[in-house]
Amino acid sequence: MCVTFRAVPELLDAPIHDLARRIRARTLSPVELVDAHIARIEAVNPRINAVIAERFAAAREEAAAAEAQVMRTSDADALPPLLGIPFTAKEYIAAEGMPLSGGVWARRHVRAERDAETIRRLRGAGAILVGITNVPEGGLWMETYNAIYGRTRNPWHLGRTCGGSSGGDGAIVGAGGVPFALGADVGGSIRIPAAFCGAVGHKPTGRMVPNTGFWPEAEGELSAYLVCGPIARSSRDLMPILKVLAGPDGADPVCRPWTLGDPDAVDLRDVVVFPVESNGATRVRRVMRQGVQRAADALAARGATIAELKAPAMKRAFMIWSSMMTAAGGPSYGEILGGDAPMRPGRELLKMLVGRSRHTFPAAMVVAAERVTKLIPARVDAMVAAGKALQRELEDILGPNGILLHPPYSRPAPRHYGPMLTPFDFVCTGLFNVLEFPSTTVPVAFDRHGLPVGVQVIGRRGDDHLTIAVAGALEEAFGGWRRAEPA
């Protein structure tokens, strides 16, 4: 393979579409690309603790096989779309032979027996898995730490959280360790880490991507609210990855076919933008409100129409999200965390006081909140109905060309443990899981502490191409992702 010399930082800054083009043109070796990213992971991971299990030797073998495939293929267009591109996946997504504990102490020895469907599809498209990333205990939290692997730190500021639950993914993409990572999102778990770490993240439309091979298994309607998707360096790379991931597999009962649009076909002059600085359910800091307004102004300058949204039901975001999650059924969070017996949150809190619990404080509090929610079934039914009504209302308002601009969180990345003081701030993202709307998070600024400020772009079900296109316009306006240097 004819490869010209280049400094490694170039590879650590390049988006997937550029890397893939150079591999197909035989000007970049997959071996060189994978080696560069392995070296970057080895350099930054001691500081941020994002990758908790690696498969570097196997990845190098797969990169060599990818290089051989390029050399023997005369038609570059016939090559797999992600050939030679390294990636990571969060520890809830099964990858054969790799840990699948979900951050739960009782599962610390569990290894995946086979690939999840999403991993299988990415590998089939030529992508190379280099490692598995850290997660919070059992998910459902905005920070990433557990008793097995410890805490993951934000590459922009080691004293700040990287978000969760795809926090390891967000941190390693933010630090330039991989061009993209596979996350999953049931309440903001792709979008919050992407926003905190300065990356782009996409939560696809509900029911678009199969959850087969995810732990804990999503049953019934919960599988519509939980969606796997990418965290990446560039919005241009989101749709090619989504095309690989999307579509039913015959095993996930709620996943169905969707027609994916083309982001390049979107004309911003046809787009109607509804800026929402706060949904009224939580206090949003001024820097996040300013981010939404800056994004709206940038889109208006490109010809988009700005309109006002009136949807007062959004202020009930937490009750809608929690009630629809409860009504979805499946095992309780306490059962998932407890192993042989459901977790008893009161008992675990007492054990924490004497340093004997293997659970985290946020996990115990989520189990306690879950029990309270189930005590009021009439309230749950009312909020489920309110959620369905809000879904219809917003789809009518948005139409085929409308998007919401919304903060992905109440503030930039908080200090470690900070989310425990404002535990409901995830509703900035969580509401759109149960509405099944696609949502793309993109960086638009940095605050006075040097932390990334992101916005969410949200559309109707099936309008993933529209949210990705608008995110791309915001990248052009504000510069998009840039590599963090953990210090």
Average pLDDT on 60-88 reads: 98
Average pLDDT on 457-475 reads: 99
Q: Strand runs (DSSP E) across 171-286, as ranges?
A: 180-185, 200-203, 227-232, 272-275
Please tell me the distance from the alpha carbon of residue 124 to that of residue 47, in angstroms, as a whole number: 32
pLDDT tens for each residue of 15-63: 999 999 999 999 999 999 999 999 999 999 999 999 999 999 999 999 9
> For residue 419, what is the DSSP state?
G
Task: Pick from 249-263, 318-332, 365-379 the range whose average pLDDT is largest.
Answer: 249-263
Active site residues: 90, 165, 189
Q: Across the chain, what does the average pLDDT equal?
A: 93
DSSP notation for 184-204: EESSSTTHHHHHHHT-EEEEP
Please tell me the distance from the alpha carbon of residue 183 to that of residue 190, in angstroms, as a whole number: 6
Q: Please, which pLDDT band fits residue 437 given cuts at 50, 70 and 90?
A: very high
Average pLDDT on 446-457 reads: 98
Question: Residue 252 CA to chain centroid, in angstroms?
Answer: 20
Q: Please, which pLDDT band fits residue 84 given cuts at 50, 70 and 90?
A: very high
Q: Which domains does the chain have, with CATH numbers?
A: 8-478 (3.90.1300.10)
Please tell me the distance from the alpha carbon of residue 44 to that of residue 415, in angstroms, as a whole number: 20
Average pLDDT on 168-177 reads: 99
Residue pair 437/392 in contact (Cβ under 8 Å)? The answer is no
Amino acid at 176: G
pLDDT tens for each residue of 178-221: 999 999 999 999 999 999 999 999 999 999 999 999 998 888 89
DSSP notation for 361-386: HHHHHHHHHHHHHHT-HHHHHHHHHH
Instruction: Give the contacts of 86 (CB within 8 A, at least 6 positions apart).
Output: 33, 34, 37, 38, 59, 63, 127, 128, 129, 130, 178, 179
Please tell me the distance from the alpha carbon of residue 458 to that of residue 464, in angstroms, as a whole number: 8
Q: Please, which pLDDT band fits residue 364 given cuts at 50, 70 and 90?
A: low
Please tell me the distance from the alpha carbon of residue 80 to that of residue 76, in angstroms, as a whole number: 9
Query: In the block, which residue shows the tokens 């939560």?
Result: 203
> For residue 218, what is the DSSP state?
P
pLDDT at 338: 64
pLDDT at 2: 45
Please tell me the distance from the alpha carbon of residue 222 to that of residue 244, in angstroms, as a whole number: 22
pLDDT at 345: 64
Please tell me the distance from the alpha carbon of residue 324 to that of residue 345, in angstroms, as a whole number: 22
pLDDT at 5: 38
Give the CA angle between residues 444, 447, 451 to the nearest 5°: 85
Is it the case that residue 390 has pLDDT exceeding 60?
Answer: yes
> For residue 133, what is the DSSP state?
E
pLDDT at 6: 47
pLDDT at 367: 64
**Pair of tokens at residue 4:** 């010209």
**Pair of tokens at residue 203:** 């939560």
Helical spans, DSSP H, in 232-358: 238-245, 286-301, 317-327, 333-338, 345-353
pLDDT tens for each residue of 257-316: 999 999 999 999 999 999 999 999 999 999 999 999 999 999 999 999 999 999 999 999
Residue pair 218/227 in contact (Cβ under 8 Å)? The answer is no
Please tell me the distance from the alpha carbon of residue 455 to that of residue 442, in angstroms, as a whole number: 6
The H-or-E segment that residue 316 falls in is none
Within a 10 A sphere around the Cβ of 408, how many other Cβ atoms? 28
pLDDT at 377: 75
